[in-house]
Amino acid sequence: MTAADDSLALLDDYLSVAMSDAHAADFEERLFAEAAAGRAPELGYLDAFFDQAEWFTSRGGFSSGATAEQIAELRKLPNVHYIDVLPKTEVSAWPTDTKFVVYRLDVDLRGYENIDVALVTPQGEHRKWFRDVVCDPADGALYGACDAPLAASTFRHEPLIARIQASRAESGKRELVAELSVTPK
Amino acid sequence: MLSVTDPAQADASDAAALAARALSGDRAAEARLCLRLAPAIRAFARRRLRSSEASSEFQQEVLLIFVEALRSRKLEDPARVAGFVLGICRNLALDRVRERERRSRLWELYGDAVSACDVVQPAQVTLEIMRLEDCLTELSQRARQAVWLSYGELLSHAEVSTRLGISEGNARVLRHRALHTLKQCVSSPKRWEAMQ
């Protein structure tokens, strides 16, 4: 643990009231002194984090994945682009005024748990994890939504393969359930 | 003399020097002190108050009192400016407790006759939010939830552990690790930023 990690952990303890009032009184003296001196980067980070977390309230929090119903609602809004990701999908450029991209990965994950999606290049180079995602309970597909610039890195930058791994709910056996490839058109 | 137009230089000025300049009427120094102290004031408020509106309101009130104190030269020792602002926070928190007690008596008497409405601010996506959105996918569901319950739903440490069904110690470690991972992740530029 670095000093910065310790400061972040202490500040989190303070804010979440894991720190006793007696310790908090001393901590506050240091906190204010460091803030006044402009030496409290962790304070700035967590302060901004509160505001960012508040923004996520409108999206239902920090959960990963969405349901078909939620995506259907989003698709009714303007400036929303929808992508249906099949085993081999070519993705065209979306309108420039697109703010939000919503998608459905065509897979049936009913009966599975602990679902992870790894994005890799066709050469096997790892790009990104989507951990512990949730599938739609009705059709078992994966649904998601994100801001257009973020979506562009997944759908429009380079060919990518989504490797969907999950554990069988009954046996716990880990499996590669599906691989869906996306290629920018 | 530090130039306020040079942020790097100005940021290096210590709190006492800034406070002394603020006391002598330097409005830029005054503003810089307020900017530096505002996150600490909000942290003080967040430990005690549940809503972000209440924390913002608390911060504004503290800074109003602070600026008034600077301009009327109530701050006697510039070297103690941090403690001075912390003192304002503590006094105001005490006042709030007294006020809350008074208000809860009023609510008991007249609460039925009062209705409130919330004003929802339009959401605005920023680069920082998109980075966070990107980084959150790398956390486990449990870690995301631990952080969300603390920073999104503003639950206390004990409440978070109860909601997650884990010990307070485990909830604490889970949150610390998640915050650290997110901090590391969001501080580095992402591939999609270069594509914009």
Show pLDDT as tens, one digit a residue, over chain B (196 residues).
Answer: 233 333 433 454 699 999 999 999 999 999 999 999 999 999 999 998 878 888 888 999 999 999 999 999 999 999 999 999 999 999 998 887 777 767 767 766 666 555 443 333 434 567 888 888 889 988 988 999 999 999 988 888 899 999 999 999 999 999 999 999 999 998 888 776 766 5
Q: pTM, whole model, 2 decimals?
A: 0.75
| Residue A155: closest CA among A94, A95, A107 | A94
Residue type, A9: A
Whole-number Å distance between alpha carbons of A173 and B140: 19
CA–CA distance from A84 to each of A90, A99, A138, A182 (Å)?
10, 17, 17, 10
The helix (H) or strand (E) run that includes residue B149 is: helix B141-151
Residues 159-178 (A) with a CB less than 8 A from some CB of B: none
- State the nearest Cα–Cα gap between A144 and chain B, in angstroms: 11
Q: Are A116 and A40 in contact (CB under 8 A)?
A: no
Q: Residue B90 has what pLDDT?
A: 94
Q: Residue B117 has what pLDDT?
A: 34
Whole-number Å distance between alpha carbons of B98 and B103: 9
B36 with A131: Cβ contact below 8 A: no
Whole-number Å distance between alpha carbons of B137 and A174: 20
Between B117 and A113, the higher pLDDT residue = A113
B145 with A62: Cβ contact below 8 A: yes
Interface mutation target, options A1, A6, A45, A52, chain B, most CBs of B under 10 Å: A52
Residues 81-120 (A) with a CB less than 8 A from some CB of B: 99
- State the nearest Cα–Cα gap between A166 and chain B, in angstroms: 14
Residue type, A76: K
Whole-number Å distance between alpha carbons of A129 and B135: 9
Question: Which positions ≥6 away from A48 have C-beta within 8 Å?
Answer: B128
Per DSSP, helices labelled H in chain A are 3-15, 21-36, 41-56, 68-74, 148-155
φ and ψ at A145, to 5 degrees? -150, 140
Q: Is A6 within 8 Å of chain B by CB?
A: no
State the average pLDDT over residues A33-40. 93
User: Half-sphere exposure of residue A106, counting CA atoms within 13 Å on the CB side?
Assistant: 10
How much is the mean pLDDT over chain A?
90
Q: Are A44 and B36 in contact (CB under 8 A)?
A: no
Chain B environment of A43 (Cβ under 8 Å): 39-40, 43
Structure tokens at A128: 């990104």
Q: Find how far residue A12's CA is from the centre of its chain.
A: 22
CA–CA distance from A151 to each of A71, A125, B111, B127, B129 (Å)?
15, 19, 48, 14, 14
Q: Is the torsion defined by CA of B136, B137, B142, B143 positive or negative?
A: negative
pLDDT in tens, A149-176: 888 878 888 899 999 999 999 999 999 9
* Residues forming beta bridges with residue A88, ordered by sequence position: A181
φ and ψ at A177, to 5 degrees? -80, -40
Per DSSP, helices labelled H in A85-185 are 148-155
